[in-house]
Amino acid sequence: MERTFALKGNVIYTPVCGQLELRSGSYLVCEEGVVAGIFDALPERYQDIPVEDFGEKLILPGLIDLHVHASQYAYRGLGMDMELLDWLEHNAFPEESHFADPDYARRAYEIFTEQLKYSATTRACIFATIHRPATLMLMEQLEQAGLPCFVGKVNMDRNSPDTLRETTEESLSETRRWLEESSDFHMVRPILTPRFTPSCTDELMDGLGVLQREFGVAMQSHLSENRSEIQWVSELCPDTHFYGESYSRFGLFGEGCPTVMAHCVWSEEEERRLMKNNGVFIAHCPQSNMNVSSGIAPVRTFLREGQRVGLGSDVAGGAHLSIFRAMTDAIQCSKLRWRLVDQGDSALTMAEALYLATKGGGAFFGKVGSFEPGYEFDAIVMDDAGLPTTRVCTLDERLERVVYLSDGRPFAKYAAGKRLF
């Protein structure tokens, strides 16, 4: 497959949070899977490379989903009148128990992978279930689809149904075996995934810390999503000062362990300080926070503090896989926070939301999420011809209409320098 080529069209990206770079009718060059640059005219050294001319279509960096549960895709849109802990008991746990059946897991993950492939998302951090064979099955499907994702076998050894709980020893041995078997993949990488502190004993967390240091893998979990959850953690871990310490004391909270924590709605100053110092990524999941009544995360505060922030769909807490939808939800939630909670917290702009959806979250994967030279070539081509209007729109206005009005399905999609469709 050709790894050096150019796309021609209207190129839009955010090199700095809040700053849109707009390049109309330009050439975006991919050289050996990496962005070489954006040019008004194709340089002489690239005169012989293939050029795909997309005319007036918009070319954006691929979107990043920092938090999604593949195993929950079947029931998105259900149980949206429950709070988090009740929702887990009634929806998440019964559904995830089905993934012990390989045939069910295969069919469910085929649906998820197909939907993810044809979405605007090029990379994602994904929760599977406790089941090692099913998790490997998901990784195989994503690899075949050409999607460079992180996928985690979930760990749970307490406070969960009998059908969805391993012993500590079983959880650690199955995780070790899964990590060893994951070395066969090239694009898809394993990520340690203790579901959250209430479902993981100290012994399990300690063992996962050992595995992290041995295999050098990343880590993902949930943090300070819901007030009831935070209270529960304080009861389970009375020697901690805040929720994040229940991970950090085992070496699972940034620093030498690349970490994504979903939500952080109620993270107080001391917890946020440790997150910033350790380089922990925050996956902001606005739709899920609304659906399960968690609250409104202080995203403006995160940005002001210099936190590392991206967006997550959090299917099925979030009902939509689209990160365009996550962008609009993030903007709207920030307006409510500004109006109702903290008048000093100004609302997000479209340029800031696009940054979170691309370069902000993409940084967890390395040099991903931008069209600056040296970045991995992830791109989506959006056709707004199906959004008719009498207005003559500027490029930034066309972007806004695509984010708010389109079905989120790209005309073409590239990940790590390869065209997926």
Mean pLDDT of 230-256: 98
Mean pLDDT to the nearest integer, 299-320: 97
2 pLDDT higher than 80: no
CB 164 within 8 A of CB 204: no
CA 95 to chain centre: 21
The answer to whether 161 touches 130, Cβ cutoff 8 Å, is no
Mean pLDDT, residues 232-237: 98
DSSP characters over 293-327: T-----HHHHHHHT-EEEE---TTTSS---HHHHH
Stretch 186-194: mean pLDDT, rounded? 98
1 confidence band (pLDDT: 50, 70, 90): low
- Mean pLDDT of the residues in the chain: 97
- What secondary structure letter does DSSP report for 163? G
The CA distance from 186 to 147, in Å, is 10
pTM of the model: 0.98
pLDDT class of 419 with cuts at 50, 70, 90: very high
Portion of the chain with pLDDT greater than 70, in percent = 100
Q: Which domains does the chain have, with CATH numbers?
A: 5-62+371-419 (2.30.40.10), 68-365 (3.20.20.140)
Radius of gyration in angstroms for the set of CA atoms belonging to the chain, rounded to a whole number: 21
Contact between 84 and 225 under an 8 Å Cβ cutoff? The reply is yes
Q: How confident is the model at residue 291 (pLDDT cuts 50, 70, 90)?
A: very high
CA atoms within 13 A on the CB side of 395: 18
- The answer to whether 195 and 222 are in contact (CB under 8 A) is yes
Span 19-72, pLDDT tens digits: 999 999 999 999 999 999 999 999 999 999 999 999 999 999 999 999 999 999
pLDDT at 344: 86
In the predicted model, what is the mean pLDDT of residues 338-346?
A: 92
357 close to 21: Cβ distance less than 8 angstroms: no
